[in-house]
Amino acid sequence: NTLTSDIITINIYDVTGRMIKRLINQKDFKGGNYIIDLDMLDCDNGLYFVYLYNQDYSYSDSWKILNNK
């Protein structure tokens, strides 16, 4: 599956299901590679979930964050 030019959304959630960051909520992405800056220093150490989706496609992954606080 590939992403179309629909609105693409990328959100990050904590383990309780609370959305802590919305990275992207934008239309008209063209095919290709993108780099997104993400600052998680204000977040506690722990497990987080990233969801990328649009009308036709979805992707999820888990991240373990260790900020050495």
Residue 29 has pLDDT above 80, yes or no: no
Q: What is the pTM of this model?
A: 0.77
Q: Could you give the percent of the chain with pLDDT greater than 70? A: 88
CA-based diameter of the chain, in Å?
Answer: 39
Task: Give phi and psi for 66, each to the nearest 5.
Answer: -125, 105
The predicted model gives 28-35 an average pLDDT of: 76
Confidence at residue 24, expressed as pLDDT on a 0 to 100 scale = 87
Residue 64: CB partners within 8 Å, gap ≥ 6? 46, 47, 48
Of 35 and 49, more confident: 49
Secondary structure of residue 24 in the 3-state scheme: strand
Among residues 47, 49, 42, 39, which one has the least CA distance to residue 11? 49
Q: 5: which 2 tokens? A: 């030019």
Please check the confidence at residue 2 and state whether its pLDDT lies above 80.
Answer: no
pLDDT band at 30 (very low <50, low <70, confident <90, very high): confident
